[in-house]
């Protein structure tokens, strides 16, 4: 089992939840093949930099060009998902810097890194569990000391 952090644009996130389907652009299609049914994921909303939902991968990848995403985006490489919880809207911009999946010498923001990796990155089980606790308000978000300077 792998654990995932998936990035969604705020304007298409409602479509993802309504259709229970994620989609990626052609250049990221190989990434979808790494997902397995039952893999848990967290939904991260770009631009607003919030964690909002918890879900699992619910189906194999497929290709479908039926327009279901707002703004005319097709994202024809798709996978079905199931959300178990959503609506947290927990700000985590600084918290993401502390995750082990981001290189310490990274010269960009975590949001941009996720975007450049196709919108989906694997996280450790520990990082996943930490982010779930942060989302639920059970643990305070980490704030890196240098970010306070």
The pLDDT of residue 148 is above 50: no
Query: How does the average pLDDT of the chain come out, rounded?
Result: 90
The pLDDT of residue 145 is above 60: no
- Write out pLDDT tens, residues 67-125: 999 888 889 999 999 999 999 999 988 888 888 888 777 788 888 889 888 899 999 99
SS (H, E, C) 37-99: CCCEEEEEECCCCEEEEEEEEEEEEEECCCCCCHHHCCCCEEEEEEEEEEEEEEECCCHHHHC
The pLDDT of residue 146 is above 80: no
> How far, in Å, are 52, 112, 113 from residue 109 at the CA level?
19, 5, 6
For residue 89, the model assigns a pLDDT of 95
pTM for the whole thing?
A: 0.90
- Write out pLDDT tens, residues 38-47: 999 999 999 9
Range of the domain at 53: 3-148
CATH at residue 121: 3.10.590.10
Q: What's the structural domain count of the chain? A: 1
pLDDT grade, residue 64 (50/70/90)?
Answer: very high
For residue 149, the model assigns a pLDDT of 39
């Amino acid at each position: 089992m792998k654990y995932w952090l998936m990035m969604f644009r705020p304007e298409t996130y409602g479509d993802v939840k309504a259709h229970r389907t994620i989609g990626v652009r052609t250049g990221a299609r190989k990434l979808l093949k790494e997902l397995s049914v039952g893999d848990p994921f967290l939904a991260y909303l770009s631009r607003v930099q919030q964690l909002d939902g918890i879900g699992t991968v619910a189906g194999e990848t497929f290709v479908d060009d039926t327009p279901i995403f707002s703004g005319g985006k097709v994202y024809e490489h798709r996978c079905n998902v199931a959300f178990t919880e959503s609506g947290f809207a927990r700000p985590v911009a600084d918290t993401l810097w502390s995750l082990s999946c981001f290189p310490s010498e990274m010269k960009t923001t975590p949001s941009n890194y996720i975007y450049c990796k196709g919108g989906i990155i694997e996280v450790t089980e520990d990082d996943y569990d930490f982010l779930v606790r942060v989302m639920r308000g059970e643990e305070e978000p980490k704030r890196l000391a240098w970010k306070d300077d």
